[in-house]
Structure 1
């Protein structure tokens, strides 16, 4: 049984050059500004026109090649720095052509760092694997990479003696890479079972008692739950029914966790499951809906003094949305604007996908929404929109113009407030 996605060798080089949503200058400068070691080339690209752009691009690619070479250095610090440099570049710029012929070399470096590295190095390598798959998109190339890395991810994830940070990173990365590069739905089910074997350990026992774990293990279970929920978004109806029967009654026990992130992950996963259930049956009603809504309402109005104010504020905000989704089938739509386009996050399915990608590309998410064909396909945005340099420049407001506008707004606001202050009422006159 195959995933309902077309799997073919990508041929996107010339196409992506033609549809870059930023000019080459903007794209290169944005990326260079995010890599401290690239800072000296930014001004060249700004001042020298096309020649400057070519110089900046050549220097940029030269440094990327240096990073790739440094991932096999004897020094752990050097390897870590190289992995971080590649992560930053892949998160902020489309590098499909550059990495296509180097994908297996990069994958070999990632595998070596996962197997022989420690903690932070393993975490960086796992994150880089995700970004590599996101860059390559859903095709044969990413399948080749994932085929080599999946056994390593699973071995670390299931090894109770492995570094807990490495296990956490592998839980998240395995989910994303499976979404992007896994071709067989049966393999997706197998990976989901791997995640279930972790987060289900945090379920309440039959006698309603709760297992206790260290903070690191709880974080691992949270990451496993979120990756499981991510893969749930691409499951066919028959598997969703099986999962509903197996997990919907047990997931609410995770709402009692002492860990805020686990409570939030559980709440959003419950909302996602209920949404999928209603997509199958519009009249779906959970048999334990009333007690579940009571739990969600308690978390949405939580006033426990022993919890930090910021935690309570975040929890109440999330669970108000979760309660509305479970009780009324409503979702608080969020609009994401990027370039000349915008996208609506209007369901728990889209939210889980958007949050998963944003975790890896960070502030580069808007750039990937504009230029990354795979991510645009996931969110049904169509081919990248052509925006020429002149249009882009016309859309921009110069720093000086922004300064003048802010200064004028500040002055007007100060005058308005002064008038209000001057209108004092002498109480003694009444």
Structure 2
């Protein structure tokens, strides 16, 4: 029986074909695509035939998702977009996507124009993932040129859904950075987009105080929109020319500290990280760079790094103090808290605010698939200067994995050790309490 006829038997009444089920639309359906070890596990179960069957099944689901993006049902379109997002975030699909690039782009455009809220958010994220899959060539540029006017209209439309505006404010910026990093011919375009990002949100409304010295009062959703815009602006600063950076630093660095007083913890953190980034970029251009209000800024950063205000949530304070300790070190001592990212047999060092902002931006879209893309996606590897993908044979991968039984034994031993330690602590606590009573 041909595959198409066999699949049609799933249809509902009158033999109608159901485009996909909720299970197909879920991330779990595509989670088996999350690493290079997939091919090895499939080969173990069924060899090359099993791998070919799995590939056919995946491509069938993706084709159904693409077809379902034009369905009349908003719920069906939403599920299809989410399914495509999950697949692109967890697997390299260049050949499949390249052949259907225009169709997918048209679907994204239609969902952005006619969809509402969550559907627009999903479509915006899918646009970024599509460009990440296609790389830095002409194909991504055509996608960008097609969708940029629509993104601009949504962002500038004050009556548009606030969540859609939030998603749009951060979605294509990694692609702009990609063009700026990997193709010098597009630096001019990237720089114009950077300046556009700053003006399109009318940032003076929330960056700067009113004439009477008060700060604008914004609702949480609008604050989140502005936070995303600030982070996007910070990302695009990393590909600006020296002259542009000097102008931006001179004009905006004195005003950014005002955002450190914002009531929203995420806005305060975004402002702090942007300040650290600007200091890093300015010092890279001029090692003797000096900031006139350096001492007041350090005092403000120090107060945030040691914040004990009772009216703030404990989780917010904990997160804030952790970030601002690093920001303070960056401003005072020019230090950065290095972080190592391990994936397969490789590792990557995050050793600067520029690298951190770039990594965080791409991780926003690929999520748990970031390590896989670092390992296999040539574009992502180019951005982080990792070189060509490293091929790892199945034997090496298998030797790196531990069996489920071994993992169970390790977890059981760890649980037992924790239990003993906690019981010992509880015993001591009881003894102290009884002695106090006596």
The TM tier, using the shorter chain, reads 0.7 to 0.9
Q: Is the 8 A contact 2:26 2:83 kept in 1?
A: no
The answer for the alignment partner of 1:137 in structure 2 is: 135
Normalised TM-score (structure 1): 0.86
CA distance in 2, matches of 1:194, 1:222: 16
CA shift digits 1:125-181 (9 cap, x unpaired): 000000001111111110011110111111111111111111111110131232234
CA shift digits 1:27-76 (9 cap, x unpaired): xxxxx997344589999776322211111110100000000010111111
The answer for the alignment partner of 1:189 in structure 2 is: 191
**Corresponding position: 1:386 with 2:384:** no
Cα pair distance change 1:416/1:315, threshold 3 Å: closer
The answer for the alignment partner of 1:200 in structure 2 is: 204
CA distance in 2, matches of 1:384, 1:39: 22
Q: 1:111 aligns with which of 103, 109, 119?
A: 109
CA distance in 1, matches of 2:340, 2:166: 30
CA distance in 1, matches of 2:100, 2:312: 49
Cα pair distance change 1:262/1:60, threshold 3 Å: same
CA distance in 2, matches of 1:314, 1:258: 14
Cα pair distance change 1:396/1:278, threshold 3 Å: same
CA shift digits 1:356-410 (9 cap, x unpaired): 0001000100000000111111111111111011111111111111222333455
Structure 1: gaps of 5 or more residues? 1-31
Cα pair distance change 1:105/1:295, threshold 3 Å: same
Find the residue that maps to 1:184 and give its secondary structure. helix
Q: Give the total of aligned pairs.
A: 395
Find the residue that maps to 1:210 and give its secondary structure. coil
CA distance in 2, matches of 1:74, 1:46: 42
CA distance in 1, matches of 2:257, 2:144: 33
CA distance in 1, matches of 2:211, 2:295: 21
Larger relative contact order (CA 8 Å, sep ≥ 6): 1
Greater CA drift, 221-230 or 197-206: 197-206
Find the residue that maps to 1:336 and give its secondary structure. strand
CA RMSD of the aligned region, Å? 2.6
Cα pair distance change 1:394/1:287, threshold 3 Å: same
Q: 1:211-222 maps to which residues of 2 (within 5 A)?
A: 211-222=216-227
Greater CA drift, 348-357 or 136-145: 136-145
CA distance in 1, matches of 2:157, 2:417: 63
Cα pair distance change 1:38/1:332, threshold 3 Å: closer
Structure 2: gaps of 5 or more residues? 1-23
Cα pair distance change 1:38/1:221, threshold 3 Å: closer
**Corresponding position: 1:155 with 2:159:** no
Normalised TM-score (structure 2): 0.84
Cα pair distance change 1:413/1:260, threshold 3 Å: closer
CA distance in 2, matches of 1:352, 1:417: 39
Cα pair distance change 1:414/1:150, threshold 3 Å: closer
The answer for the alignment partner of 1:177 in structure 2 is: 175
Q: Is the 8 A contact 1:45 1:55 kept in 2?
A: no
Q: Is the 8 A contact 2:66 2:80 kept in 1?
A: yes
**Corresponding position: 1:291 with 2:291:** no
Q: 1:52 aligns with which of 44, 50, 53?
A: 50
Q: Is the 8 A contact 2:276 2:330 kept in 1?
A: yes
Greater CA drift, 263-272 or 44-53: 44-53
Q: 1:3-402 maps to which residues of 2 (within 5 A)?
A: 35-37=27-29, 47-181=45-179, 184-197=186-199, 198=201, 199-202=203-206, 203-402=208-407
Find the residue that maps to 2:337 and give its secondary structure. coil
Q: Is the 8 A contact 2:363 2:370 kept in 1?
A: yes
Cα pair distance change 1:65/1:304, threshold 3 Å: same
Cα pair distance change 1:270/1:415, threshold 3 Å: closer
